[in-house]
C-alpha cells in the first residue's frame, strides 16, 4: 500500500541530521519533562521493548496502527530529522517526507505546543540511545491506507495553532488547560469520537471508548465524572496512581507511570484546577434492574466482592476501590465494569505506592448472566445510577477479549 | 558445569529472612542474588481470593508446601529405631516457593522474653544446675540488643496488638511480662469475638492478665515504612496453611517484594536448588554455591558472601551436605551441626456451648486473647521439675469445614453419631491452647540418613525426636492451667487434649522446628556466633530458627525476623568495613 502514498508538501531544504547536536544537560532535562507531559513513551514503546523504539500496535476502529521508532537511529528512527521536520510533525501532522501522518498521532493536540517546547523534546530524544527497529506496516483498509485521505480529515477536523491563554482565567487554569488540551492530549481517550475518528467536540472529555475500555468522563465541575473528587484527590491520583476513590489500572496506569507520576505537583495541581472548572451535562436517571436481578446480584456480590469492596460498597481508601459513587461504575458505557470483572485489574505500582494491588479475574468463575447481575447490582446500589447490564453485553466484551488473545 | 558471573551476596532460599536480607543488603548498595528452589508466587496470580480458600487443594493435597516427592526427611523417636521417610507432611508443613512458609503462616508475631535469650544462665542462677541430658544454652544476644530489630519487623508487618511494657512502664491491657518496648504496636488489636471475650473473662476471674495476641493479620489498612500497603483483614479464617488473597496478612509479598523487585541490584532466580556451599582450599572461606535448575543443569555461582535463608531443616542439611562443621553425634557429644533440635509442646482443651454461637468461621490466624503468666520464667518453677512454659490463648483461627470439627468427649470417630455431633457443635465450640517451649536435650537431634536419598541422590535429613522429661512435666502443668481457664468460659462441657505418649510426626501440631545451626558464645558450643555468622566460615551467615539453641514458649517468626535484621545490621555496619570474624574465638 505504501506505493500509493503520494508525496505532498514541500521538501525542506534546510533539513540536516540533528542527531549530532550536543545539548546542555539543562535542555535535555527540560525535554525529558516535556516528553513526559506528552506521554510519548507510552505509544512509542512496545510491551517489553526499548523505550521510544515504537512497534506498539494501536487498535483503532479503522484498523491497526503500528507506532514508529522515534529514537534517533538514522535508518529506522528519526535520526535524519531536523528540528523543523520534528516541529512540522507535531504542529501540522506531516512526516519528514511531507506525507501526512495519521491522526492516531495526536498532532491536533501537539499543535498547541510552543516551538521551544517541541525543540526541547527533540533534544531529549536526540540524547537517548539509538535503537534500530523497523516499523511494521499499518493494517488499514483502502481508502484509509491512502494517506491523502488525511488531508480531507484535516480540513474538516484539524485546527493548527499554538495554545492561546485565556486572559480572564488564572495562570494556573491556563497552565492546566494547556497541559490537558496540548501535550497531555487527554481527549485522545476521554472524548468520544465521531464516525471519522475525530473528537466529538460537544462531548469533550465526557468519556470515550478505546481498545475495549470505556475511558470515563473526567470533567470535574457540576455533573462531571470527577465532580466528587477534590483537586487534591485528582493530584494524588495522577502522582501516586491511587486516591481514596480508586486506582489507575491498565491504560491510565501507563499514563501515570510514564507521564503524570513524573510531573510536578504544581503542574498536576494546574490540571486539577482546569478539570474542576469543566461542567458536564446532567444525567437522566437510569432504569433500575428488576428485583430478581438485584437479588441475584447482591448474593454474588456478597460472596465474591464484599471482602474487599465492603458490603456497603465503600471499599478501603487507597487500597480497594470505592464502588459507591464510582465514576467507572456510573459510566453510561459498562464496558470497563464488565471487563474488570472478567479479567481482573491491577493498580499500577508507583514510586509512592509500590504495591501492585490486584483484583482477580472472575471470567472463569462467573457466567455471563451472573456477571450481568452483579454488574447491574453494583451500578444500581449505594446511590449509583448506572443502567442494568445484560448478559449479551457481557458476552460481547468476553468474545472481543477472547478474539484479542 | 557453567560458572556464572560473581555477585556480592548470594541468598539461599527466599522467604521471610531472604526478603529481609535482600532488602537490607541492596540498600547497602550490594549486588544481591536470591536463589529459590520453588516457584515465583504473588497474591493475584497464586492465591487470589477466588482460589485462596481452597481447603482441599492447599492443605489436604499439600500444594502450598515443600514438594516431598523430591526431598523429605526421615523420622524416628529415638536412636534405637530405624527412621523412615515422611512421605506426607503431618506434624509440620515446610514451605516452598517465594515467600516460603511466611506465605502460609498464621501471623502470631511474638517477641521472646528477655529471660529466654539467657535461658541457661538465668535458670541455673535461680534454680541450680540444669538436669542431666538437658543442653539448653544462652543465645549470645540479649533482648535489649534485639529490641530495635523486633520493632522494625513489627512496623514492617503492621502488627496489631497492645503494648504491656513501654520503656519499662507497665501498661494496662497489654502483656505485663513482655520485655520493655521502645514503641507501641503500629496497629491496634484485632476485633475480638465471643470466644475471646469468654476467655478474657475467665482469665481475669483467675487473677490473670489477658491481652490481645500480636497479629500480622491487619486490624486496619496499613502502609509500612517501605510504602507497601496492606488491607484490613476480612476474618475469613484462611491464614495458616493458605496464602492470603486480600493482602491482609504480612508476608514477603505484602511487605517487601513490591519495593525489592524494582531494584536493579537485586536478582531472583526461582526453580533453582542450591546443592552445596563451595569452599576454597583453606576451608575457611565460602566461594559461592552450586545450584541446579529444573532441567538438571548445574551452575557454579561465585559470591563474596553466602547467606542461608531457607527453612531451618534445609539450612541445617545444607551445612551437613557442604561439610561445614562437624555433624553432632549424641553418642559422643562431639560435633555441633544438627544439635539441639527442638520443637513446640502444645496442649489444649475444647469448650462446647449449648446456646451460644462462637461462629468460628469468623476467624483469623492471630485473632486471639492470651495470658503469659505461665511462660518462660514469669512464674516460680521451684519444685515443678521443669523450666520454661508457654502462653495460653484462645485463638479463633478458622472453622474450615474439612479440617475443623470439634466433637465432645465420647463421640465416635465416624458414622451418623459423629456427623450429628459435628453439626451440633460446629458453630458452638472453641478451644484454649498452651503454646509450650521446647528445651534442648542431647537425645533430640538432626543428622543425615544412612539409607534414604533425595531426587539428586543426596542423603535425606534424619530427625530423631521425642518429648523430653521437661516437656512432659511442663505439658502436665500447662494442661491444668488450660483446663482451669476453659472451665470458666461458661460452656456446657470441655474436652482435654493433653500431651501424652510419644511425639507423633503425623497429626499437625506446628511448623516451629528449631535448632541444628545453633548460635552461642563460643565455637565450642555453637555453629554460628551472636551475629549468626559461621564460626568456621566467616563469610557464611545462617538465618532462621535453626539458630535457636532451644525454643521458647512463643511462635518463632518475630524472633527469627529480629535476628535477621540484627545480622543484616552487623553485616552493614561491621562486616562490610572489615570482612572477617565479627566475634573473635
Residue whose grid cell is 521446647: B438
Q: Which residues contact A361 (CB under 8 A, 6 or more apart)?
A: A342, A343, A344, B48, B50
Strands B493-497 and B7-12: unpaired
Contact (CB<8Å) A349/B236: no
Percent of chain B with pLDDT over 70: 100
Nearest CA among B345, B387, B448 for reference residue B135: B387
- What does the pLDDT read at residue A141? 78
The CA distance from A352 to the nearest CA of chain B, in Å, is 7
Q: Does A356 touch chain B (CB under 8 A)?
A: yes
A319 lies within 8 A of chain B by CB:
yes
Residues B327-351: tens digit of each pLDDT? 999 999 999 999 999 999 999 999 9
Cα–Cα distance list, B473 to B323, B373, B477 (Å)? 37, 17, 6
Q: Which residue in chain B is spatially nearest to A353 when comparing CA positions?
A: B227
Q: Closest Cα partner for B31 from B53, B54, B9? A: B9
Q: How far apart are CA B71 and CA B465, in angstroms?
A: 19
Mean pLDDT of A230-244: 97
pLDDT, greater one: B247 or A11: B247
* A307 close to B (CB below 8 A): yes
pLDDT in tens, B509-546: 999 999 999 999 999 999 999 999 999 999 999 999 99
Q: How far is residue B26's CA from residue A352's CA, in Å, rounded to a whole number? A: 19
Q: Least CA distance to B253: which residue of chain A?
A: A355
Tens-place pLDDT, residues B203-239: 999 999 999 999 999 999 999 999 999 999 999 999 9
Q: Is 80 exceeded by the pLDDT of residue B7?
A: yes
| CA–CA gap between residue B180 and residue B177 (Å, rounded) | 9
CA distance B277 to B321: 8
DSSP category for residue B575: I
CA distance, residue A20 to nearest chain B CA (Å): 30
Which residues of A are less than 8 Å from B50 in CB distance? Answer: 304, 360-362, 365
Q: Considering only alpha carbons, which residue of chain A is nearest residue B254?
A: A355
- Cell numbers for A216, please give them: 470515563
DSSP string, A173-231: HHHHHHHHHTTT-THHHHB-B-TTS-B-GGGTTSBEEETTEEEPP---STT-TTTTS-H
Handedness of CA B411, B414, B417, B421 (dihedral sign): positive
To the nearest whole Å, the CA of B444 is away from the closest chain A CA by: 43
The residue of chain A nearest to residue B248, with distances taken between CA atoms, is A308
Q: State the pLDDT confidence band at A15, using cuts at 50, 70 and 90.
A: very low
Q: What residues of B are in contact with residue A361 (Cβ under 8 Å)? A: 48, 50
| Contact between A308 and B44 using a beta-carbon 8 Å cutoff | no
Q: What is the mean pLDDT of residues B97-114?
A: 98
Which member of A307, A349, A360 has the closest CB to residue B44? A360
Q: Which residue, among A301, A306, A354, would best test binding to B if mutated, counting the most B CBs under 10 Å from its CB?
A: A354
Give me the pLDDT at residue A5, please: 36
Closest CA to A283 of A148, A379, A149: A379
Across residues A252-265, what is the average pLDDT?
Answer: 96
Q: What is the mean pLDDT of residues A312-338?
A: 95
Query: How far apart are the two ends of chain A, measured CA to CA in Å?
Result: 27
Give B161→chain A minimum CA distance, Å: 21
pLDDT range class, residue A16, cuts 50, 70, 90: very low
Is residue A12 scored above 80 in pLDDT?
A: no
**What's the pLDDT score for residue A138?**
83
To the nearest whole Å, the CA of A225 is away from the closest chain B CA by 27
Chains A, B: CB pairs < 8 Å: 62
Mean pLDDT of A177-188: 97
Nearest CA in chain B to A311: B234
Query: What local confidence, expressed as pLDDT, does residue B585 receive?
Result: 82
The cell for A362 is: 472472575
Residue B214, C-alpha cell as written in the block: 500480636
Percent of chain B past pLDDT 90, that is, above it, reads: 99
Q: Return the pLDDT at A13.
A: 37
Average pLDDT over residues B457-482: 97
Check CB contact under 8 Å for B262 and A354. Answer: yes
CA torsion sign for B260, B263, B269, B273 is negative
Residue A396's pLDDT is: 96
Tell me the per-residue pLDDT of A154-169, one tens digit each, with 9 for 90 and over: 888 888 999 999 999 9
In this structure, what DSSP letter does residue A54 have? B
Instruction: Please judge whether A308 and B231 are an interchain contact, meaning their C-beta atoms are less than 8 angstroms apart.
Output: yes
Mutate to test the interface with B, among A355, A357, A371 (most CBs of B within 10 A): A355
B contact test, residue of A243, A247, A261, A307 with most B CBs within 10 A: A307
Q: Is B512 among the residues known to form the active site?
A: yes
Look at residue A341 in the predicted model and tell me its pLDDT.
Answer: 98
User: pLDDT-derived band of residue A2, with 50, 70 and 90 as boundaries?
Assistant: very low
Three-class DSSP category at A399: helix
Average pLDDT on A256-261 reads: 97
Strand residue runs (E) in B454-523: 459-464, 493-497
Grid cell 449509583 is found at: A384
Cis previous bond, B352, omega within 30: no
Is A353 in CB contact (< 8 Å) with chain B?
Answer: yes
pLDDT for res A405: 66
Q: Does A304 touch chain B (CB under 8 A)?
A: yes
Q: How confident is the model at residue A150 (pLDDT cuts 50, 70, 90)?
A: confident
Closest residue on chain B to A348 (Cα): B258
pLDDT tens readout for residues B408-445: 999 999 999 999 999 999 999 999 999 999 999 999 99
Residue of chain B with shortest Cα separation from A242: B229
Average pLDDT, chain B: 97
For A56, counting Cβ atoms within 10 Å of its Cβ (0-12 exposed, 13-18 middle, 19+ buried), the class is: middle
A360 touching B (Cβ < 8 Å): yes
The SS3 call for residue B80 is coil
Considering only alpha carbons, which residue of chain A is nearest residue B46? A360
Given its phi and psi angles, is residue A77 left (phi above 0), alpha (psi -120 to 50 degrees) or beta? beta
Interface of B with A (CB under 8 A): 43-44, 48-51, 221, 223, 226-229, 231-232, 234, 236, 245-247, 254, 258-259, 262
Q: What is the pLDDT of residues A294-312, one digit of tens each?
A: 999 999 999 999 999 999 9
Report the gap between the CA of B155 and the closest CA in chain A (Å).
16
Q: Which of A336, A215, A225 is nearest to A275 (CA)?
A: A225
Q: Do A362 and B50 touch (CB under 8 A)?
A: yes
pLDDT at A136 (0 to 100): 84
Do the Cβ atoms of B392 and B489 come closer than 8 Å?
no
Task: Name the pLDDT band for A8 (thresholds 50, 70, 90).
Answer: very low
Kindly report the number of other CB atoms within 10 A of residue A338's CB atom.
25
- Quick check: A309 contacting B, CB < 8 Å? no
Nearest to B221 among A319, A352, A365 (CB): A319
Question: Which tens digit of pLDDT belongs to each residue from B549-566?
Answer: 999 999 999 999 999 999
Please indicate whether, in this complex, the C-beta atoms of A304 and B226 are within 8 angstroms of each other.
no
Where is B563: in which H helix or E strand? helix B557-570
Candidates A240, A318, A319: best to mutate against B (most CBs of B within 10 A) is A319
| Average pLDDT value for chain A | 91
What's the gap in Å between the CA of A208 and the closest CA on chain B? 29
Half-sphere exposure of A127 (CA within 13 A, CB side): 18
> DSSP string of B196-262?
HHHHHHHHHHTT---EEPPBSB-SS-EE-TTS-EE-----BS--TTS--TTS-B--HHHHTHHHHTT
DSSP designation for B102: G
Distance (Å, rounded) from C-alpha A20 to C-alpha A42? Answer: 26
Please tell me the total number of residues recorded for chain B in this structure: 585
- Residue in A308, A352, A362 nearest the CB of B227: A352
Q: Taken in order A110, A115, A117, A123, is the CA torsion positive or negative?
A: positive
Amino acid at each position: 500500500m505504501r506505493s500509493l502514498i503520494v508525496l505532498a508538501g514541500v521538501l525542506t531544504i534546510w533539513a540536516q541530521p540533528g542527531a549530532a547536536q550536543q545539548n546542555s544537560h539543562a535542555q535535555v532535562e527540560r525535554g525529558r519533562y516535556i516528553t513526559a507531559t506528552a506521554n510519548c513513551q507510552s505509544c512509542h514503546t512496545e510491551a517489553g521493548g526499548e523505550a521510544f523504539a515504537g512497534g506498539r500496535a494501536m487498535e483503532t476502529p479503522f484498523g491497526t496502527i503500528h507506532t514508529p521508532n522515534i529514537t534517533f537511529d538514522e535508518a529506522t528512527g528519526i535520526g535524519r530529522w531536523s528540528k523543523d521536520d520534528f516541529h512540522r510533525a507535531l504542529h501540522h501532522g506531516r512526516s519528514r517526507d511531507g506525507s501526512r501522518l495519521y491522526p492516531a498521532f495526536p498532532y491536533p493536540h501537539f499543535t498547541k505546543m510552543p516551538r521551544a517546547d517541541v525543540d526541547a523534546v527533540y533534544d531529549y530524544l536526540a540524547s537517548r540511545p539509538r535503537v534500530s527497529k523497523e516499523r511494521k506496516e499499518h493494517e488499514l483498509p483502502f481508502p484509509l491506507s491512502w494517506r491523502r485521505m488525511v488531508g480531507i480529515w484535516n480540513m474538516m477536523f484539524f485546527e493548527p495553532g499554538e495554545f492561546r491563554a485565556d486572559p480572564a482565567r488564572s495562570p494556573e487554569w491556563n497552565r492546566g488547560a494547556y497541559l490537558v488540551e496540548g501535550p497531555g492530549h487527554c481527549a485522545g481517550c476521554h472524548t468520544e469520537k465521531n464516525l471519522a475518528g475525530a473528537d466529538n467536540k460537544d462531548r469533550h472529555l465526557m468519556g470515550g471508548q478505546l481498545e475495549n475500555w470505556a475511558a470515563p468522563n473526567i470533567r470535574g465541575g457540576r455533573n462531571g465524572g470527577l465532580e466528587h473528587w477534590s483537586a487534591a484527590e485528582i493530584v494524588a491520583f495522577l502522582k501516586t496512581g491511587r486516591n481514596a476513590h480508586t486506582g489507575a489500572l491498565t491504560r491510565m496506569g501507563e499514563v501515570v507511570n510514564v507521564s503524570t507520576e513524573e510531573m510536578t505537583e504544581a503542574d498536576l495541581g494546574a490540571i486539577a484546577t482546569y478539570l474542576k472548572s469543566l461542567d458536564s451535562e446532567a444525567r437522566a436517571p437510569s432504569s433500575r434492574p428488576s428485583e430478581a436481578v438485584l437479588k441475584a446480584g447482591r448474593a454474588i456480590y456478597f460472596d465474591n466482592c464484599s471482602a474487599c469492596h465492603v458490603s456497603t460498597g465503600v471499599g478501603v481508601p487507597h487500597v480497594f476501590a470505592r464502588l459507591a459513587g464510582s465514576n467507572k461504575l456510573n459510566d453510561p458505557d459498562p464496558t470497563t465494569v464488565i471487563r474488570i470483572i472478567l479479567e481482573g485489574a491491577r493498580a499500577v505500582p508507583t514510586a509512592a505506592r509500590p504495591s501492585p494491588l490486584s483484583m482477580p479475574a472472575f471470567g472463569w468463575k462467573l457466567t455471563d448472566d451472573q456477571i450481568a447481575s452483579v454488574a447491574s447490582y453494583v451500578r444500581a446500589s449505594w446511590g449509583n445510577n448506572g443502567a442494568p447490564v445484560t448478559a449479551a453485553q457481557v458476552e460481547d466484551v468476553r468474545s472481543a477479549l477472547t478474539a484479542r488473545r | 558445569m557453567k560458572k556464572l558471573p560473581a555477585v556480592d551476596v548470594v541468598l539461599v532460599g527466599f522467604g521471610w529472612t531472604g526478603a529481609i536480607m535482600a532488602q537490607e543488603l541492596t540498600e547497602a548498595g550490594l549486588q544481591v542474588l536470591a536463589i529459590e528452589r520453588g516457584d515465583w508466587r504473588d497474591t493475584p496470580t497464586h492465591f487470589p481470593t477466588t482460589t485462596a480458600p481452597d481447603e482441599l487443594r492447599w492443605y489436604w493435597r499439600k500444594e502450598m508446601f515443600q514438594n516431598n516427592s523430591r526431598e523429605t526427611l526421615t523420622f524416628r523417636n529415638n536412636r534405637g529405631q530405624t527412621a523412615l521417610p515422611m512421605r506426607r507432611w503431618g506434624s509440620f508443613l515446610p514451605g516452598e516457593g517465594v515467600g516460603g512458609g511466611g506465605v502460609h503462616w498464621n501471623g502470631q508475631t511474638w517477641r521472646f522474653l528477655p529471660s529466654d535469650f539467657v535461658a541457661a544462665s538465668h535458670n541455673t542462677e535461680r534454680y541450680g544446675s540444669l538436669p542431666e541430658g538437658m543442653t539448653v544454652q544462652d543465645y549470645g544476644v540479649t533482648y535489649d540488643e534485639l529490641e530495635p530489630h523486633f520493632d522494625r519487623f513489627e512496623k514492617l508487618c503492621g502488627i496489631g496488638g497492645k503494648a504491656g511494657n513501654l520503656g519499662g512502664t507497665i501498661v494496662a491491657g497489654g502483656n505485663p511480662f513482655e520485655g520493655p518496648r521502645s514503641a507501641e504496636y503500629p496497629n491496634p488489636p484485632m476485633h475480638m469475638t465471643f470466644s475471646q471475650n469468654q476467655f478474657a473473662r475467665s482469665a481475669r476471674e483467675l487473677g490473670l492478665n489477658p491481652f490481645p495476641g500480636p497479629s500480622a493479620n491487619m486490624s486496619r489498612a496499613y502502609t509500612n515504612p517501605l510504602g507497601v500497603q496492606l488491607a484490613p483483614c476480612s476474618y475469613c479464617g484462611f491464614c495458616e496453611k493458605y496464602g492470603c488473597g486480600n493482602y491482609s496478612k504480612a508476608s514477603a509479598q505484602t511487605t517487601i517484594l513490591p519495593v525489592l523487585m524494582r531494584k536493579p541490584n537485586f536478582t531472583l532466580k526461582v526453580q533453582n536448588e542450591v546443592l552445596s556451599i563451595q569452599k576454597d582450599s583453606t576451608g575457611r572461606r565460602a566461594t559461592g554455591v552450586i545450584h541446579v535448575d529444573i532441567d538438571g543443569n548445574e551452575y557454579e555461582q561465585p559470591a563474596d558472601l553466602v547467606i542461608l535463608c531457607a527453612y531451618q531443616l534445609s539450612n541445617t542439611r545444607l551445612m551437613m551436605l557442604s561439610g561445614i562443621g562437624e555433624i553432632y553425634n549424641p553418642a559422643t557429644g562431639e560435633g555441633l551441626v544438627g544439635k539441639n533440635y527442638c520443637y513446640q509442646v502444645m496442649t489444649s482443651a475444647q469448650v462446647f456451648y449449648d446456646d451460644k454461637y462462637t461462629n468460628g468461621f469468623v476467624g483469623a490466624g492471630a485473632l486471639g486473647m492470651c495470658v503469659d503468666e505461665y511462660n518462660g520464667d514469669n512464674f516460680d518453677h521451684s519444685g515443678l521439675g521443669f523450666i520454661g512454659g508457654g502462653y495460653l490463648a484462645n485463638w479463633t483461627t478458622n472453622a474450615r469445614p474439612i479440617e475443623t470439627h470439634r466433637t465432645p468427649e465420647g463421640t465416635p470417630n465416624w458414622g451418623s453419631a459423629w456427623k450429628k455431633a459435628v453439626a451440633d457443635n460446629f458453630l458452638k465450640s472453641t478451644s484454649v491452647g498452651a503454646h509450650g517451649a521446647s528445651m534442648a536435650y542431647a537425645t533430640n537431634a538432626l543428622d543425615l540418613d544412612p539409607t534414604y536419598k533425595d531426587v539428586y541422590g543426596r542423603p535425606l535429613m534424619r530427625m530423631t525426636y521425642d518429648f523430653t522429661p521437661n516437656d512432659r512435666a511442663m505439658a502436665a502443668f500447662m494442661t491444668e492451667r488450660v483446663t482451669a481457664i476453659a472451665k470458666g468460659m461458661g460452656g456446657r462441657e470441655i474436652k482435654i487434649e493433653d500431651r501424652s505418649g510419644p511425639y507423633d510426626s503425623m497429626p499437625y501440631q506446628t511448623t516451629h522446628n528449631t535448632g541444628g545451626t545453633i548460635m552461642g558464645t563460643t565455637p565450642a558450643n555453637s555453629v554460628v556466633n551472636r551475629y549468626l555468622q559461621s564460626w568456621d566460615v566467616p563469610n557464611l551467615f545462617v538465618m532462621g530458627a535453626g539458630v535457636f539453641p532451644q525454643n521458647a514458649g512463643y511462635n518463632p517468626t518475630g524472633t527469627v525476623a529480629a535476628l535477621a535484621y540484627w545480622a543484616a545490621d552487623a553485616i552493614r555496619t561491621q562486616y562490610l568495613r572489615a570482612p572477617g570474624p565479627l566475634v573473635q574465638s
